[in-house]
Amino acid sequence: MIRLSTKGRYGTRLMVSLAQHYHNRRESIILKKISDEEEISIRYLEQIIIPLKIARLVKSIRGAGGGYILARDPSNIKLREILLALEGACCLVECVDDEDYCDRIKECATYEIWKNASSLLKDYFENTTLQDLVEIADKKNPSVRK
Amino acid sequence: MIRLSTKGRYGTRLMVSLAQHYHNRRESIILKKISDEEEISIRYLEQIIIPLKIARLVKSIRGAGGGYILARDPSNIKLREILLALEGACCLVECVDDEDYCDRIKECATYEIWKNASSLLKDYFENTTLQDLVEIADKKNPSVRK
DNA sequence: AGAATTCTTATAAATTTATGTTGAAAAATA
DNA sequence: TATTTTTCAACATAAATTTATAAGAATTCT
């Protein structure tokens, strides 16, 4: 299957959770809470949030009362940035992103196909913001206030 | 990374090779030849061709003088069929194809996103045939006759 | 019978997915 | 400022899956 890894899926859900809290009150939130809400192992979330921190999409606040918080407004964070941080370049095959990966590019017929398909995804994720995701969530669960 | 597995990539190249030979003379071709041409381990190709056979996209002929041959004309084989055989449903996440996979679908904001993105890919692969791939290959390598 | 080829099964290496344990840093509080 | 609590950070490990190779059996052609 052409598959988004759990890192990409869980990480995106993590960012949506952070965005929902960011929106309603600008406080940091602890991973434990997201772990409970989203039913994802906190140990795994801890691993997943590292690349998001490195990419400066989230900030961590240590110590009592600490937690994590978005580094920017959700409307200013593209889904593509999130996936880039979590999974590296958002392309279906290595060779689309790294020309040196395979020396058959010049002959390979499938290269063009994977490249086009990757572009479709890239454009879609480029034009989807974290804010869009929050709005979808709000629409699906009108009653829930976080 | 949102990644096509090697099964999907190698299998597609395998199908293109079969299509090129099918086009020029309707003989079966042995995996060893494709293995040499495409530089993919023959043992691995043997595993990869099994689902293609099960999906009735290729036919096998056993024994000396045997080999593999496309079951239909390349213009009548969609890339989506190939990927479906090799990787299962062509969707980014399980839940898009199997509603029972996760019970958070009703609340999950990311579900809609992965579903839309999967549709983009699905439509693209649905409208690309093996013949299209052969023509791309011909254009890239005008001199090569197989 | 012998050669060529697919088919089957086993297994090993690499990567992804996930959990457990311990330690370090920061903030709150007394 | 010392203590305690909360939380992030780092490291180790285990399970599952993907990727790949090996060896030999079964089948068919000549």
Give a yes or no: residue A100 inside a domain. Answer: no
- Which phi and psi angles does B3 have, rounded to 5°? -130, 135
Residue ranges making up the domain that contains B19: 6-89+130-140
The set of residues, in sequence order, having a beta carbon less than 8 Å from that of A141 and lying 6+ positions away, is B107
Q: Residue A66: which nucleotide is closest by CA–C1'?
A: D7
Please spell the DSSP secondary structure of A73-104, one letter per residue.
-GGG-BHHHHHHHHHSS--SSHHHH-TTS-TT
Lookup result for tokens 């530089």: B39
- In degrees, rounded to 5, the angle at the alpha carbon of residue B140 between the alpha carbons of residues A116 and B5 is 45
- Regions of chain A short of the pLDDT cut 70: 1, 23-26, 90-91, 99, 143-146
Report the distance separating Cα B108 and Cα A140, nearest Å: 8
CA distances from A122 to A17, A49, A53, B42 (A): 23, 22, 22, 34
Strand C near-CB residues (< 7 Å), B 26-85 = 30-32, 43, 46-47, 49-50, 53, 60-68
The set of residues, in sequence order, having a beta carbon less than 8 Å from that of B30 and lying 6+ positions away, is B66, B67, B68
Chain A positions touching chain B (beta carbons under 8 Å): 1-5, 8-9, 12-13, 16, 39, 79, 83, 87-94, 104, 106-110, 112-114, 116-117, 120-121, 124-125, 128, 133-134, 136-137, 140-141
Which chain B residue is nearest to residue A83, measuring alpha carbons?
A: B1
> Given this model, what pLDDT does residue B146 score?
55
CB contact under 8 A, B4 and A2: yes
Give a yes or no: residue B95 inside a domain. Answer: no
- What CATH number is given to the structural domain containing B38? 1.10.10.10
The pLDDT tens digits for B90-109 are 668 777 676 666 777 777 88
Q: Residue A5: which nucleotide is closest by CA–C1'?
A: C16
Give a yes or no: residue B113 inside a domain. Answer: no
Q: Which alpha helices (DSSP H) does chain B contain, by range?
A: 6-24, 31-38, 42-54, 79-87, 94-97, 109-126, 130-140
Report the distance separating Cα B139 and Cα B14, nearest Å: 18
- Asked if strand C contacts A127 at the CB level, meaning under 7 A, the answer is no
Q: Residue B43: which nucleotide is closest by CA–C1'?
A: D21
Q: Which value does ipTM take for this structure?
A: 0.89
CA distances from A105 to A68, A98, B26, B51 (A): 42, 11, 27, 26
- Residue pair B34/A36 in contact (Cβ under 8 Å)? The answer is no
Return positions of chain C under 7 A from a protein CB: 2-10, 16-21, 24-28
Report the distance separating Cα A96 and Cα B2, nearest Å: 12
How long is the CA A20 to C1' C26 vector, in angstroms?
26
Lookup result for tokens 């990787």: B87
- Regions of chain B short of the pLDDT cut 50: none
Give a yes or no: residue B108 inside a domain. Answer: no
Give a yes or no: residue B117 inside a domain. Answer: no
Report the distance separating Cα B73 and Cα B76, nearest Å: 5
Kindly report which amino acid residue has its CA closest to the C1' atom of nucleotide D10: A47
Give a yes or no: residue A101 inside a domain. Answer: no
Q: Which residues pair with B69 in a beta bridge?
A: B59
DSSP state for residue A70 in the 8-state scheme: E
Give a yes or no: residue B77 inside a domain. Answer: yes
* Number of domains chain B contains: 1
Give a yes or no: residue A146 inside a domain. Answer: no
Which chain B residue is nearest to residue A92, measuring alpha carbons?
A: B3
Which chain A residue is nearest to residue B11, measuring alpha carbons?
A: A110
Instruction: Extract long-range pairs of B54-61: CB within 8 Å, 24+ residues apart.
Output: B54/B85, B55/B81, B55/B84, B55/B85, B57/B15, B57/B81, B57/B82, B57/B85, B58/B15, B58/B18, B61/B28
